[in-house]
Amino acid sequence: MRIDVQGVEPAAPAAAPALDFRLRVHADAPVRALTLATQLRIDADARDYDEDARRRLEGLFGPPETWGRNVSSLLWARTVTHVPAFTGSTPATLTVPCTYDFDVAAATYLHGLPGGEVPLRFLFTGTVFYLDGGRLQAACLPWDTEAGHRMPVRVWKELMDRHFPRTAWIRLERDTFDRLYAHRVRHTLLGWDDTVRSLLETSGG
């Protein structure tokens, strides 16, 4: 069995941000069903980075002099896709939920890229049910079933802009939030942007 990744587009309609990767699944025998488990990884060491990108990603990979040992593959997502019966080849859609949570390394990485392409690696496992001589058989996908794809960075950024226009999200511990809220009330600030700006100005940031 061979699986190709042919493209990517925003999942629509979707209440939460997600990307649909278009797959083409090829099989030598008639398939009755395929349960496809996918580990999607970002091959961060498979592209070049200019000075701007290195500055934006320093919080993830450290200073430039350490990138040789720090830049490596990042886990983006794990998904399960159910593919119905087919003969020969069939299209399939692999839906990947996306987050703007900067505690997630993949989101930090994708946000930090100014442009270009994201080198992706799809590692497939799962069970295929197929016909052999008229009898139903089951087999696991070979361990080396995988595919690569280079996704334009703009696809992810446009998706985030659609769901979170001109905003970004961070998580805070409740105690930190309570202190931040108290600062907002104490200084009669109108919104959270004003609250954070006042703290940055106070600290000289």
For residue 118, the cross-strand partners are: 151
Q: Give the global pTM.
A: 0.85
DSSP letter for each residue of 145-178: -EEEEEEEHHHHHHHHHHHSTT--B----HHHHH
* pLDDT confidence of residue 46: 94
- The mean per-residue pLDDT over the stretch 144-169 comes to 92
* 99 CB-near residues (< 8 Å, 6+ apart): 17, 107
Q: pLDDT for 167-189, tens place per residue?
A: 877 788 899 889 888 988 888 88
Q: What is the pLDDT confidence band of residue 13, given thresholds at 50, 70 and 90?
A: confident
> Which comes out higher in pLDDT, residue 193 or 18?
18
Residues 50-88, buried b or exposed e (16+ Cβ, 10 A)? eeebeebbeebbeeeeebeeebeebebbebebebeebee
Residue 142's alpha-carbon distances to 38, 77, 127, in angstroms, are: 13, 20, 10
- The mean per-residue pLDDT over the stretch 88-112 comes to 92
Q: How far is Cα 190 from Cα 187, in angstroms, rounded to an integer?
A: 9
Give the position of tokens 């970004």: 168
- The mean per-residue pLDDT over the stretch 93-98 comes to 95
Q: How far is Cα 205 from Cα 187, in angstroms, rounded to an integer?
A: 19
